[in-house]
Amino acid sequence: MTKVILPELGEGIEKATVSYWYFQQGEKVNEKDDLVEITTDKATFNLPSPAAGTLIQIILSEGDTVHPGEVLGIIE
């Protein structure tokens, strides 16, 4: 099981918004596929999948606020 965790995005960036999941829950993903897009004020940030497997759970959905270090979803 691999947790999809939002990394630190930069100094002073304490939160961002989940703007787009490229995959739905239950879909298979490859390592490094674009998995989820996060948006801060003037930047979008694409988080690649940390592992190959199935996206078994989306914990934070589109529109949710996310903080660095938080788990966005789980791949198994």
Partner 1 sequence: MSFEVFDLGLIDYQKALVFQQEVFKAVESGLPQFALILCSHYPVITCGRQANKKNILVPAEELVNRGISVFETSRGGDVTYHGPGQLIIYPVVNLAHFKKDIHWFLRLLEEVVIDLLSDFGVEGRRIEGKTGVWVGEAKICSVGIAIRGWISFHGLSINVKAADLDNFNLIRACGMDVNLTSLETILGRNIEISDISKMGSELFISKIEPGSILAGGRVL
Return residues touching partner 1 (CB under 8 A): 7-13, 19-20, 32, 34, 37, 39-46, 48
Count of other CB atoms within 10 angstroms of residue 1: 9
Q: Give the phi and the psi of residue 44 in degrees, each rounded to 5.
A: -105, 145
Q: Is 30 in contact with 49 (CB distance < 8 Å)?
A: yes
- As measured in angstroms, the least distance from the Cβ of 8 to partner 1 is 8
CB of 17 to partner 1, least distance (A): 9
Of 13 and 57, CB closest to partner 1: 13
Smallest gap from residue 68 Cβ to partner 1 (A): 11
- Between 44 and 61, name the residue whose CB sits nearer to partner 1: 44
| Residue 30 neighbours by CB under 8 Å, 6+ apart | 49, 52
